[in-house]
Amino acid sequence: MALMFPAFLDKPDKISFVDQEEDEVIELFLRRHGITNFPWIVLSILGLFIPALVVFLDQALQINFISKIPEKLALEALVLWYLFIIAFVFESFLSWYFNIYIMTNQQLVDINFRSLLFRDIVTIQYNDIQGVTSQIQGIIRSFFNFGDVLVETAAKNESVDFNDVPKPDQVADRIDDLQKTMKPNAV
Amino acid sequence: MLSDNPGLDFTLSSLSFTFQIGFIVLAIAYFIFALIIIRQINLMTETVTTEVASLLKILSLVLGLLSLGVVIWFIRLI
Angle subtended at Cα A145 by Cα A141 and Cα A149, rounded to the nearest 5 degrees: 85
Chain A residues with CB-CB distance to B27 below 8 A:
80, 83
Closest among A111, A98, A114 to A19, alpha carbons compared: A111
- Residue B29 CA neighbour count, 13 Å, CB half: 10
| Closest Cβ–Cβ partner in A14, A18, A83 for B51 | A14
Concatenated DSSP letters of A26-83: EEEEEE--GGGGHHHHHHHHHHHHHHHHHHHHHHHTT---GGGS-HHHHHHHHHHHHH
Distance in Å, alpha carbon of A94 to nearest chain B alpha carbon: 8
| A24 phi and psi angles, rounded to 5 deg | -95, 125
| DSSP, res A111 | E
Express each pLDDT in A12-61 by its tens digit: 988 999 989 989 999 999 999 999 999 999 999 999 999 999 999 999 99
Whether residue A169 contacts residue A148, with contact meaning beta carbons closer than 8 Å, is answered with no
Angle subtended at Cα A96 by Cα A94 and Cα A97, rounded to the nearest 5 degrees: 65
What is the pLDDT at residue A156? 60
Chain A residues with CB-CB distance to B66 below 8 A:
83
What is the pLDDT at residue A110? 92
Measured distance CA(B60)–CA(B34) in Å, rounded: 7
| DSSP, res B74 | H
- Give the nearest chain B residue to A13 (CA atoms): B50
CB contact under 8 A, A18 and B70: no
Q: What is the pTM of this model?
A: 0.87
Distance in Å, alpha carbon of B4 to nearest chain A alpha carbon: 15
| Closest Cβ–Cβ partner in B26, B36, B48 for A111 | B48
Measured distance CA(A19)–CA(A107) in Å, rounded: 12
Closest among B78, B32, B76, B40 to B59, alpha carbons compared: B40
Express each pLDDT in A160-175 by its tens digit: 889 999 999 999 999 9
| Closest Cβ–Cβ partner in A18, A86, A111 for B63 | A86
What ipTM does this complex have? Answer: 0.86
Chain A residues with CB-CB distance to B56 below 8 A:
94
What is the pLDDT at residue A187? 46
Chain A residues with CB-CB distance to B46 below 8 A:
18
A134-141: list long-range contacts, CB under 8 Å, 24+ apart.
Answer: A134/A168, A134/A169, A134/A171, A134/A172, A135/A168, A136/A168, A136/A169, A140/A35
Chain A residues with CB-CB distance to B36 below 8 A:
116-117
Segment among A114-128, A134-148, B30-44, B62-76 with least mean pLDDT: A114-128
DSSP H or E segment with residue A165: strand A159-166
Q: For residue A7, how far is the Cα from the chain centroid?
A: 8
Express each pLDDT in A116-143 by its tens digit: 778 889 889 888 888 899 999 999 999 9
Whether residue A96 contacts residue A111, with contact meaning beta carbons closer than 8 Å, is answered with no
